[in-house]
A and B are shown apart, each in its own frame.
Chain A
Amino acid sequence: MSDLVFLIAGLFLPIFPMSMVFNEVFSRVGNRNHRIALLVLWPQIGIFFIFASGAEIPGWIASWGLLTALLYAFRLLAIREMQLWISFLATSSWAILWITLQNSGESSPVYLYALGISLPLVLLLFLSDELIKRFGAAYTGLYGGLALTQPRFSGILVMVVLAVIATPLFPAFFTMIQTIIVSSPVSLVTAILVGVVWLLWSWAGARLIQGLIVGPATEMQTPDLSVAITKKYTIALVLLVVFGLLTLGGLP
């Protein structure tokens, strides 16, 4: 029975190769609202199944989850299409939660950890749509130089990317700290691998930022984000920080 539960959970809290299902679904769903729902709800279903079963997570499943996180973080380095980038990072981030679940179980707010990972990704999804509207594609290295032509968009993009790669004080930062802290006394190798995953996210995030905002100004004249929309993004980011500090920042 528990094997079936973990199989279902492994679909929603992605474990390779079942993780490919999420990436396939995410790429096929064209509607933005459906994509948002996928980003927010997909991992919650997985966590729900695990908690509902009450079964203890075996070590091999957690290790498999960690290797999945590592695999997708590694593959993320070569991704230039932004929506695929979001999908891969979501897979890698959610897979890390297996380690948290194994070491701290129901005592930790894993639902909130997953939400803290999903919400910044939703913001990034909005930004990628903005890019598609302006340039026809959200693709790094294709146009570049946005910092000069669209300073407001670039500023928001940088902040959102920092949020998704778990920079302080965003919620995912506390999730990563918690994951490393609970795993380091049990297995140093696991904790180091979680650290490597985090390092790969930073690398991929820097590549994404560099591919979009760095470089000479593009010749394509497109409008920047309006002040009103910039304010909305800023408020969302501030709320994310507050959410991180108040819910996950308490730490044990």
Chain B
Amino acid sequence: MENLVFLLPLIPLVSALITHLWADRLGNQVTRVSVVGGVISFVVAVLLLILMLNYDIDAQVSFGGSWGILLADSLSVLMAVVISGISMIVRIYSVRYMIEESGYSRFFVLLDLMAASLFFMVTAGDLITLLIAWHAIGVLLYFLLGYDTRSHSASRYAFWTLFTYRVGDIAMVLAAGLLYHAYGTWSLAEIFERLAADPGAHQYFGFALPELVGVLLAISAFARSAQFFLHTWLPYSMAGPTPVSALMHAGIVNAGGFLINRFAPVFVHTGDVLHWLFIVGLVTAVIGSVLMLTQNDIKKALGYSTMGQMGFMIMECGVGAFSLAIYHLIAHGLFKGTLFLGAGSVINEARKNDGVPKDDLYTFVVERKPVKQQKPWLIMAAITLIVPIFVLVLAHWLVAQDFFQKQGAIVLLFFGWVTGAHLIFSTYQMGSQNIWRLVGLIVFSFAIIVLGYAVISHAFDLFLYPDPAFRSQIYAAANIDVFWFDVLVVLVTIIMVLGWVARYYTEKNRNQTSKHLNSLWMSFYALVSREFYMNDIYAWISRFILNLATRLNVWLRWR
């Protein structure tokens, strides 16, 4: 039964080979091979998931040799369903979308190879298979993003992606080297078993092995998931074809979350690494969101939106909510993929029809008519602060009554509360002839989302980590000292409240802001609109390196 896992990467590999060999004979019809391959892969993945849910499979199969092991466990099968589903849709979409492009069949060969590499990555049961897949994805993405070979800019931005991914590859090779040296095997299952038996058995360069490996894997995940400092490639990778953007945002960029989950048995034995994940994720989420809000190019805005979401995903890992990160990456993949694939037809439709539905709810929410007199702010403030926390606590209490004992859950609740409160605060500011109805609608939507999120993420937790002791271990690894935790919560609350107060006064005194404040604000806006000058800095460093290499060559007489 578990041998079905072999089929996942093999089907797209065979499909790529047939597409390449029959391209001349079948012409454009050859893409049907790729589409059929995609459908079969999806069916196999779903079948594996059904079998797993019914028979609780947790096995590994091997091509033979010291590596080439594939895992059939809950994480690999779940990810395989997502990847096969998204790549199948992308292939079907591309049949018409790409038909007028030169190298039509080449595009499908690349898509198939990418799907095969992604399957190898999620099912890899040993370090070498994982390294090969991880590396191959970067290389294939380079060719997919630079698919339009006429465009120098597409090629340049594809290279940015390749370079960043290679940084992550090397961090992963270093981690693999240390793990192999310590345990003498490539097999992940054996490594995790021996690590769990004695986590402190190996020290390298004064660090415990899990700590060092955790840092290297985190760097690899940061590069793949566009975390701050390694993010500049993401918003510029839109020069690639739309189906590639959809596949990338839905199934490739989120691999950082997968990697952290795959190496969960390592991360539970780390001390500070998860805290660093939280900090890097938080910074990325904030910066990504700020940059998204200031973009006037919709595609770049989507790129930065993904960056923000990836930051949140890494942050979830940092608080120990590993399975929530998987749910997040799937949910994000689906909605971002839909956005990319649907964007063209929406624009096309909008040119013919304004698309405004003439129903009562749409008119009420969108075509609002503000009233002159607003409700007392004290009541609204109370609703703003109390309702979200009530909804969040109730939803979490329904799925797991012990959630208050987990710091990570509290941190996420806190973020949920801030988001919910901000949503209602903004709703109040919008103004409406019937504010209660508007707030009611928002609270209802918020409750549905929170309840759905809590229930589904709890189900993911049980599915991916059925052992309650291991689940607790993950949360425990992410814990910090209670005193500092409380200090941080209070500090962040003060910052948030000050932010709200500042916004309230800014709105109230809109026409009376000082010149100094305006100038400060404009400077900040300029900084953000130039994307913190990070691209300029990287471009300058790149030019400097190339100039230095040329000078060195001249000095050494090109020998």
Residue on B with the closest CB to A87? B559
Contact with B along A201-236 (1 / 0, CB 8 A): 011001000100111110000000000000000000
In the complex, A75→B551 CA distance in Å?
A: 9
Stretch at the interface among A47-55, A131-139, A184-192: A184-192
In the complex, A148→B101 CA distance in Å?
A: 12
Q: Is A74 an interface residue (CB 8 A)?
A: yes
In the complex, A191→B139 CA distance in Å?
A: 22
Q: Is A198 an interface residue (CB 8 A)?
A: yes
Say how far A242's CB is from chain B's closest CB, in angstroms: 14
Q: Which residues of chain A from 176 to 196 have any CB-CB distance to chain B below 8 Å in the complex?
A: 176-177, 180-185, 188, 191-192, 195-196
Q: Which residues of A contact B559 (CB under 8 A)?
A: 20, 23-24, 27
Contact with A along B133-149 (1 / 0, CB 8 A): 00110010011001001
Say how far B161's CB is from chain A's closest CB, in angstroms: 10
Q: Which residues of B contact A171 (CB under 8 A)?
A: none
Q: Which residues of A contact B66 (CB under 8 A)?
A: 250-252
Asked if B177 and A185 sit within 8 Å, CB to CB, the answer is yes
Q: Which residues of A contact B162 (CB under 8 A)?
A: 202, 206
Stretch at the interface among B167-175, B409-417, B441-449: B167-175
Asked if B181 and A77 sit within 8 Å, CB to CB, the answer is no
Q: Is B155 an interface residue (CB 8 A)?
A: yes
Q: Is A169 an interface residue (CB 8 A)?
A: yes
Q: Is B102 an interface residue (CB 8 A)?
A: yes
In the complex, A79→B146 CA distance in Å?
A: 22
Q: Which residues of B contact A (CB under 8 A)?
A: 65-67, 102-103, 128, 131-132, 135-136, 139, 142-143, 146, 149-152, 155-156, 159, 162-163, 166-167, 170-171, 173-174, 176-178, 180-182, 186, 204-205, 545-546, 548-550, 552-553, 556, 558-559
In the complex, A215→B550 CA distance in Å?
A: 23
Asked if B149 and A147 sit within 8 Å, CB to CB, the answer is yes
Asked if A162 and B139 sit within 8 Å, CB to CB, the answer is yes
In the complex, which of the residues B131, B142, B173 has the most CB atoms of chain A within 10 Å of its own CB atom? B173
17 residue pairs from A and B, CB less than 8 Å apart: A74-B548, A74-B552, A75-B549, A76-B549, A78-B550, A151-B103, A158-B143, A168-B136, A180-B173, A181-B180, A185-B177, A195-B174, A210-B156, A210-B159, A214-B151, A214-B155, A216-B150
Q: Which residues of A contact B151 (CB under 8 A)?
A: 214
Asked if A206 and B149 sit within 8 Å, CB to CB, the answer is no
Among B67, B142, B180, B548, which residue has its beta carbon within 8 angstroms of that of A206? B142
Say how far B57's CB is from chain A's closest CB, in angstroms: 28
Asked if A199 and B177 sit within 8 Å, CB to CB, the answer is no
Residue on B with the closest CB to A71? B552
In the complex, A185→B205 CA distance in Å?
A: 8
Known: A145-B149, A177-B128. A75 touches B177 (CB 8 A): no
Q: Which residues of B contact A180 (CB under 8 A)?
A: 170, 173-174, 177
Q: Is A140 an interface residue (CB 8 A)?
A: no
Asked if A202 and B149 sit within 8 Å, CB to CB, the answer is no
Q: Which residues of B contact A177 (CB under 8 A)?
A: 128, 131, 173, 176
Say how far A156's CB is from chain B's closest CB, in angstroms: 13
